[in-house]
Amino acid sequence: MLFMDISTWAPEHREDILKHFKEIRPPAGIHVVNQWLDLTGGRFFILYEAESSEAYAAFNLPWSDVCTIDSVPVMEAIDFIKHMAEHGLKF
């Protein structure tokens, strides 16, 4: 399943965030599609696929001490439209 995470942190956690970026690698079961930084600071966006809830937890829990993560399950629009049509629903 695909997830779009938006991580935010307070300015005083900047050094902790940089340390995490240098040390933490995605665990098995996580495939990172792409990642972006908010150029104004304080936010990070990442799109990734998680193979299981265990992989998802292993990926996000190490960050819980330095930032807040808003995690949203997502699907490409074309796939959503196809899924709706397969179930007789109009979009």
pLDDT digits over 35-64, tens only?
999 999 899 999 999 999 999 999 999 888
Distance between CA atoms of 73 and 15, rounded to whole angstroms?
A: 29
C-alpha span between 55 and 41 (Å, rounded)? 28
- DSSP 3-state of 25: coil
pLDDT interval class at 21 (50, 70, 90): confident
Q: Which domains does the chain have, with CATH numbers?
A: 2-86 (3.30.70.920)
